[in-house]
Amino acid sequence: MSGTDQKTLHVDADRGLWVPPEVREFDKQIVFRTPRSTLQHFGSGPLDPYYGMIDEGSFGDAEDLHDPKNPKLAPNQVSIKKQGEEAIVFEVECVIDDPGNRRAL
């Protein structure tokens, strides 16, 4: 799978980025790219449903971020790449503060 996937993701204010099931299982390394940063996660076990290292502050307009590492993903996209596979780009739709309380990212 490559390019922009139809599935949209969300950020939980307490738990981080929701990671879709199809990318939770990986061998050796998975790389997350947000407008603000690039994060490499090493290991071989499945990821939890939420990735706490990515929060609401990982997204925004490129000109509003201090030294954005991946400005082409601004304002609300995340790229997830398992080692040896193509990156999948997802749109991050909203932040969930409380159950049922959604707001735009």
What band does 4 get if pLDDT is binned at 50, 70 and 90?
very low
Q: Using an 8 Å Cβ cutoff, are 17 and 11 in contact?
A: yes
Task: Say how many C-beta atoms besides its own lie within 10 A of residue 66's C-beta.
Answer: 5
Average pLDDT of 3-24?
86
- Top pLDDT among 3 and 47 is at 47
Residue appearing with tokens 């502050």: 57
- Lowest mean pLDDT of 32-41, 62-71, 89-98, name the range: 89-98
Domain locations along the chain: 3-99
Backbone angles phi, psi at 48, to 5 degrees: -70, 165
Q: pLDDT tens digits for 42-71?
A: 998 899 999 999 999 999 999 999 999 999
What band does 6 get if pLDDT is binned at 50, 70 and 90?
low
Helix (H) or strand (E) holding 105: none
